[in-house]
Structure 1
Amino acid sequence: MTTYRPFSILMAGVLAVGLAGCGATGGPRETGGTVIGGVLGGALGSQVGGGSGRTVATVIGALIGANIGANVGRSMDTTDRMRTAQAFETAPTGQPTQWVNPDTRNQYQVTPTRTYERGGAPCREYTMQVMVGGRPDTVYGTACRQSDGSWQVMN
């Protein structure tokens, strides 16, 4: 297990794109991950330094974030997104759901940590532990069920 890191924020962003219904082919997932990673990386970079140093950090953060986001976006396939949504829908609070993708060998464990209602829709705070390409990480987030029954990551 690792602690909260910028990679975790990128993974949460990529998960949001995946659960929002990106296509099953690598193109849309990779593009979505690149966009989200770039935006989040730039936002993180903007928190470093001051003056022109902040600008440089923002640009570097956006480039690094876009690269990481594209890689993680490629890693979650349709099965992984479906298993994540299934965990949001059916797992009791505190009960982990885990799986290994048989094609990619990536490992996932989703644990809902709190369930509540927002605007009449159920929402789940969760922890997701991932092992993608041999790199472990932990993501914290919130997902809410949409009117069409799908789950969307809110943060």
Structure 2
Amino acid sequence: MNLRTLPLRHGVLAVSAALALAGCGTMGGPNEQSGAIVGGVLGGAVGSQVGGGSGRIVATVIGTMIGANIGANVGRSMDANDRSRAAYAFETARTGQPTGWVNPDTRNEYNVTPTRTYEQNGAPCREYTMHARVGGQPDTVYGTACRQPDGSWRVAN
């Protein structure tokens, strides 16, 4: 086995598993799907650092599934008000400046921090970290959002 290609194989496995999970019939809207993909990729990356040989592959797959579930939970929990507040943070917050809120209906807490700003195809994009407390459980999601021609922000991961 070529050690140079080992991380690439695990990355491909993680992305493939995340995309497969995102396409499942039980997935809800685009926020849940995006959360599952981001969480799956990150979980797979963490899992790929555990063990060796076939144990590492199993850890990658398990990490991908756990990460996809966590990411989907955060995405599923966001309502229109939460998406609007996240878009406001993408539009107005300086890089490194957190924007937080508590949803008055669900009592879920969110804190979005843009971590990098760049342009893609003439549109501004923001990488971000979102810390959330959904149903009392803390979760962290990393992602990228880009401004659309209509002025809205869309998660682009």
Q: TM range, normalised to the smaller chain?
A: 0.5 to 0.7
Contiguous gaps of at least 5 residues in structure 2: 1-17
Aligned to 1:79: 81
Map Cα deviations across residues 19-66 of structure 1 (whole Å, 9 max, x no partner): xxxxxxx83254554455445433432332221111221222133223
- Relative to structure 1, the CA distance from residue 39 to residue 151 in structure 2 (aligned partners, 3 Å threshold; closer, same or farther) is same
Out of 52, 55, 60, the position equivalent to 2:57 is 55
Q: Return the structure number with greater relative CO, CA threshold 8 A, min gap 6.
A: 1
Q: Distance in 2 between matches of 1:61 and 1:114?
A: 26
Q: RMSD value over aligned CA atoms?
A: 3.3
Q: Distance in 2 between matches of 1:93 and 1:37?
A: 22
Question: Secondary structure at 1:49's aligned position in 2?
Answer: coil
- Relative to structure 1, the CA distance from residue 35 to residue 144 in structure 2 (aligned partners, 3 Å threshold; closer, same or farther) is closer
Query: What letter matches 1:50 in structure 2?
Result: G
Is 1:103 the counterpart of 2:102? The answer is: no
- Relative to structure 1, the CA distance from residue 90 to residue 27 in structure 2 (aligned partners, 3 Å threshold; closer, same or farther) is same
Out of 140, 143, 150, the position equivalent to 1:148 is 150
Aligned to 1:9: none
Q: Distance in 1 between matches of 2:77 and 2:69?
A: 13
Q: Distance in 2 between matches of 1:121 and 1:35?
A: 23
Number of residue pairs the alignment of both structures matches:
132
Q: Distance in 1 between matches of 2:118 and 2:44?
A: 32
- Relative to structure 1, the CA distance from residue 32 to residue 98 in structure 2 (aligned partners, 3 Å threshold; closer, same or farther) is closer
Q: Distance in 1 between matches of 2:42 and 2:115?
A: 24
**Normalized against structure 2, the TM-score is what?**
0.61
Identity %: 76
CA deviation after TM superposition for structure 1 residue 85, in Å: 0.7
**Normalized against structure 1, the TM-score is what?**
0.62
Question: Secondary structure at 1:27's aligned position in 2?
Answer: coil
Decide which structure has the larger Cα Rg and report it.
2
Aligned to 2:72: 70
CA deviation after TM superposition for structure 1 residue 105, in Å: 0.4
Out of 88, 91, 105, the position equivalent to 2:90 is 88
Out of 112, 124, 127, the position equivalent to 2:126 is 124
Q: Distance in 2 between matches of 1:127 and 1:67?
A: 17
Query: What letter matches 1:64 in structure 2?
Result: I
Q: Distance in 2 between matches of 1:55 and 1:91?
A: 39
